Structures are given as C-alpha cells and as structure tokens.
Structure 1
Amino acid sequence: MASDSGTNQSVEKAALVLSAFTGGQALRVSDVAKHSGLGQSTVSRLLATLESLEYVERDPISTLYRLGPALITLAGVAVNQHPVHRQARQPAQDLAATLGLGVNVAERSRESLFYLCNFEGSRAPRSFALMGQRNPLHATGLGKCLLLGLDPAQRRALVPRLHRYTPYTVTTHDELDRVIDEAAKRGYATETEELALGRACIAAPILDRAGSVVAAISISGPLSALGLAERETTLAGTVIEVADSISVGLGYLVPPHTHPPRPRELDS
C-alpha cells in the first residue's frame, strides 16, 4: 500500500478496514480483506483491536462484523460541531414535518456532495439515513447548487467526466454550464429523475458571511409526492426562504438569491 511521507501505515490500514463497511453490510474477515486489499491475518488482528475499542462489533451468532457504537459517538460529535449542521438542523426538520417531504442539507467534499442532515416527511419515507453518505454533484439539485460556487473551468477540473445514472442525467459540461447558469439566475436548482427514476428535488444554496456557497438545502421525494411540475414556484420560494434563514444564521447579511454566489477555491 502506497503511503505519503509522514503518514502512519497502521492508522491507514485501520481506516481501510473501517471503510470496507461503508456498503452497509455485515462482513466476514475475508470480505474485509478483499475490500481493503490487506492480508487476512492483518485484517483479523486489526478487527480484534477495533472490536476491543468498540469501533466494530461482532454478531455472536453469525460472527459477522459491523461498525460499532464508538463510531456513532464520534459521528454525533462531528456533526454537532459543524456550523452548517447546527444552523440547518431545526429549519430542515421543521420543513420536512410541514411539507411531509424529504429535506436534505449537504456540503461539497471534493468531487461529491456530502449529506449533513436528512429528514424524511410522511410522504417521502426512506428505510435508511442519508447523513454521511455521498452523491454526485452533476446529477442532483443539491450538487448543482454547490457547483454554483465554481466557474466552468473549475467544474471541468473537479469532475472531468459526468457519469450517466438515468436517461435524464446531464452528461456534457456545456449542458451543465447552461443548467447552472439558469440556477444562478433563479436562485435555485431542480433535478427530475437524473439520479434515480421516479424521484425529484428542488434545492437552494446556503452562503456564509463572505457570500461563498458552503452548502445547499433541498426538498425531495417521489415525483407524485413532490409535484414539481405544478408546484415549482411555490416550492422554490419555500426552499429559498429557508436557505436564506440558514445563511443569515451563518453571518450572511443579504438574501443569497439577490446576488450571484462568489467562486470558491477547489478543495485539495
């Protein structure tokens, strides 16, 4: 395993073992070895250590490993320390309860969006939590809002290839430029069946005190529940208003949809 100078290989190996569980399935030692690319004996020792620290736990009947409670503690601390999560959690939760739809908040993490909040309404239930998961930028309303903070050259450098997820996914940068220009003018972005068939969303950017795009919030759900074709104007006003309130909480003083967002530097 290649390592940068100054990194600790034991920590890297432990991280590889833990990352094998991001698919959401309980795993055997051999499964973890396959996912991590490490030897089975090495994985077995690492899992035993991680189990003693409660970073993983083993089912006593199946003997399969899954992530443990210590990681839940760390994750809770991490999100509670995040300024966008602190500002957005209650407004997003209230919006989901009022509309009965899904409400998500995400930031950009390199070439993906990263979910900070995820609330399900009664008309848009999910069997899993999105918080901590990632999705593509170009195929989501949230991602399009996050790309508002980059110029066309930066977007091409960040995501050179636009993967097709459905027949409706934007797959050329010229088309993505057009979509993002439109979103900048309107103050919100939409997505209809671009990532998954039968689902849609409408999203607005969240800005910090400098006017930079730091996150985005979306209203999402099944096509039939969202009714975007008939309710776009109403839902757009709602999501922009909530995004504005979160931005103000982060120190932004002017309604974010009245000025184009400032570009940010690409993450390393």
Structure 2
Amino acid sequence: MAAESGTGTQAIERAMKLLACFSGEHSELRTSELCAATGLGQSTVSRMMATLDRQGYVVLSPRTGLYRLGPTTVVLGAVALNSSLVHRAGRQIAQNLAQSTNLGVNLAELNGTKLFYLCNFEGAGSPKSFTMAGRSAPLHATGLGKAVLSGRPVDYVRAYFEDALATPFTPHTITRLDHMAAALTEIRNRSYATEIEELAFGRACLAAPIRGRTGEVVAALSVNGPLSAIDLPNRQRDLSLRVIEAADEISVALGYTPTPTGRHPHPAHLAENSG
C-alpha cells in the first residue's frame, strides 16, 4: 500500500509539473519541449499527456502536434476566481472604471512576493488582446506592487530587497531600498502610487491600495495604458481621485471601515537611509 501511495503521489507531481509548463509565453508545446522542460522521458510524458487530454486538462492539435491547456483548466480557474473575495468585490468596480476612463484597469492581490492578477478590463485607449488574470508581476516595478508594498511591514520590504528580488526591467526601475523607502513614504502620504516606464517602455499606471476588514493592504487597483493615453502630466489629479475612490469602494465591500480622520493605518515608515 505504501508503494502504491508513493507511485500515485509521484504521478500527481509529474502531472502538475507538466501543466505548469504552460504559461503566457509558452501556451502551446510539443512533447519534446515538455520533456526538456520537466526532465521526464518521452514515454512518460506521452502517457501522462494522453491521460490529461482524456480528462480535458489539455488538448492536442492533430494538425500541429502541439498541446494547449484544455477546458477543464478554464473551469477550475473560473471557480478559483469566483471564490476570491477581492475579485467578487472589485470586478464590477474595475469594469466601470475602465469604461469611464477609457484606460486599462487591473485588479491584483499579493501572493507571496509577487502580484497575482485577478482581472483586467480595457478602455478604448488601452486595448489588449489577452487577459491578465492568472499572471504574476513584480512588486517593485509596478504601480500595483508599490501600492501593496506601501502597506507591508518594514521588515517585509527590507527582506524583499535583501533577497535580490528587485531586479531591473528598465533604467527607471527602482532597485535600491533607500529609493523605494522614499517612494513608499510619498505613496502613503498621497494614497496612490505611480509607475512610469519602470516595467516596460512606453507605458505607465496609477494605482491605489485595497484594504481588508482589519485595515491591512491585501490588493490594489490600477489604471494603465500607453503614455499618450494615460497622459499623467494632464490627467494625474483626476485619475488619482478616481482610482482612490474605486479602491476605497472595494475596501468597504471587503469589510474595511475608514477611520474618522480619513487616514489609513500603515506600518512605520522605512528610514530614508535604510540599506
């Protein structure tokens, strides 16, 4: 029985490893590519992919010989999203914001040391041909991430930089703890974050933190788009008010009660000479 149990666990681990090979950059894969990515033999991969195909987790194209994720994974993903309190509280609010600003709107929550996108909507000025749901992004190089970091304890932010997670994506990416400390102080003072070409050239975003019942920052909401569409020099004040209002609406839906002074609770500021 122990041997059988071990074999079953190994099969599950291998199946999960195969499914994890599919991502935004690798949405269709050949058997040989799955073997190279997992280190599994061709016969093992072929057998397991055939089983996953029968269960609807993957689909094999007879024309190209490429596997892609199947409808069963879509069902599971939808169930997972619908079980998220942040997604349920924020989906319609995010959609309304995209429509009123004509920009893209992203809703994401903290997952370990990364952002996890729950949903996105496109305005006319920031179209996308793909969904952001299920993707991840770094905290230090996005407006959403910096909005989340503004509510994290000092030790968390320091550890993030000490663990060398703050890798550069463009020359504008913040990679030093003291620079991030100054940025987070500004975010806390004005209740929103900006990101201008820190993750990708030609794009910018403005984001506000979302708080749970206890006041802890659990997620963030952003408007984003090409520099010409978001036009922060002329639209920053208006967009910041809209994003803060929408994020606060989601926070209230999650059970957060704003303080009478209107000031959000936050951890002690990082000293400007940290790191």
TM-score (norm 2): 0.90
Instruction: Indicate the residue corresponding to 2:176 in structure 1.
Output: 172
Instruction: Indicate the residue corresponding to 1:258 in structure 2.
Output: 263
Instruction: Indicate the residue corresponding to 1:110 in structure 2.
Output: 112
Q: Distance between the aligned counterparts of 1:81 and 1:168, measured in 2?
A: 36
Q: Distance between the aligned counterparts of 1:192 and 1:158, measured in 2?
A: 21
Counterpart selection for 1:151 from 153, 169, 190? 153
Q: Which amino acid aligns with 1:113?
A: L
Q: 1:262, CA displacement in angstroms?
A: 5.2
Q: Which amino acid aligns with 1:229?
A: P
Q: 1:98, CA displacement in angstroms?
A: 1.2
Q: Which amino acid aligns with 1:258?
A: R
Is the 2:117–2:133 contact (alpha carbons within 8 Å) kept by the matching residues of 1?
A: yes
Which moved further from structure 2: 206-215 or 32-41?
32-41
Is the 1:92–1:119 contact (alpha carbons within 8 Å) kept by the matching residues of 2?
A: yes
Q: Deviations over 1:35-84 (max 9, x none)?
A: 12222221111101100100000012112100000000010111011100
Q: Secondary structure at the match of 2:93?
A: helix
Q: Distance between the aligned counterparts of 2:199 and 2:229, measured in 1?
A: 17
Aligned-residue CA RMSD (Å): 1.7
> Does 2:265 correspond to 1:247?
no
Q: Distance between the aligned counterparts of 1:254 and 1:189, measured in 2?
A: 19
Q: Which amino acid aligns with 2:34?
A: V
Which moved further from structure 2: 178-187 or 154-163?
154-163
Q: Distance between the aligned counterparts of 2:128 and 2:15, measured in 1?
A: 31
Instruction: Indicate the residue corresponding to 2:273 in structure 1.
Output: none
Q: Which amino acid aligns with 2:129?
A: S
Instruction: Indicate the residue corresponding to 2:237 in structure 1.
Output: 233
Is the 1:187–1:257 contact (alpha carbons within 8 Å) kept by the matching residues of 2?
A: no
TM-score (norm 1): 0.92
The 1:33/1:156 distance shift into structure 2, 3 A limit, reads farther
Q: Distance between the aligned counterparts of 2:149 and 2:10, measured in 1?
A: 34
Q: Distance between the aligned counterparts of 1:72 and 1:55, measured in 2?
A: 9
Q: Distance between the aligned counterparts of 1:232 and 1:163, measured in 2?
A: 27
Q: Distance between the aligned counterparts of 2:154 and 2:169, measured in 1?
A: 22
Instruction: Indicate the residue corresponding to 2:271 in structure 1.
Output: none
Which moved further from structure 2: 32-41 or 210-219?
32-41
Instruction: Indicate the residue corresponding to 1:201 in structure 2.
Output: 205
Instruction: Indicate the residue corresponding to 2:64 in structure 1.
Output: 62
Is the 1:96–1:119 contact (alpha carbons within 8 Å) kept by the matching residues of 2?
A: yes
Q: Distance between the aligned counterparts of 2:156 and 2:248, measured in 1?
A: 25
Q: Distance between the aligned counterparts of 1:148 and 1:165, measured in 2?
A: 21
Which moved further from structure 2: 114-123 or 34-43?
34-43
Q: Distance between the aligned counterparts of 1:220 and 1:107, measured in 2?
A: 16
Is the 2:187–2:193 contact (alpha carbons within 8 Å) kept by the matching residues of 1?
A: yes
Q: How many residues align?
A: 258
Instruction: Indicate the residue corresponding to 2:75 in structure 1.
Output: 73
Q: Distance between the aligned counterparts of 1:251 and 1:138, measured in 2?
A: 27
Instruction: Indicate the residue corresponding to 1:131 in structure 2.
Output: 133
Instruction: Indicate the residue corresponding to 2:38 in structure 1.
Output: 36
Q: Distance between the aligned counterparts of 2:94 and 2:191, measured in 1?
A: 18
Q: 1:240, CA displacement in angstroms?
A: 0.3
Q: 1:229, CA displacement in angstroms?
A: 1.5
Q: Distance between the aligned counterparts of 1:171 and 1:225, measured in 2?
A: 27
Q: Which amino acid aligns with 2:202?
A: G
Unaligned runs of 5+ in 1: 264-268
Q: Deviations over 1:203-239 (max 9, x none)?
A: 0000011000110000000000001122111111110
Q: 1:257, CA displacement in angstroms?
A: 6.2
Instruction: Indicate the residue corresponding to 2:92 in structure 1.
Output: 90
Task: Percent identity, please.
Answer: 48
Q: Distance between the aligned counterparts of 1:205 and 1:91, measured in 2?
A: 14
The structure whose Rg is larger is 2
Is the 2:53–2:60 contact (alpha carbons within 8 Å) kept by the matching residues of 1?
A: yes
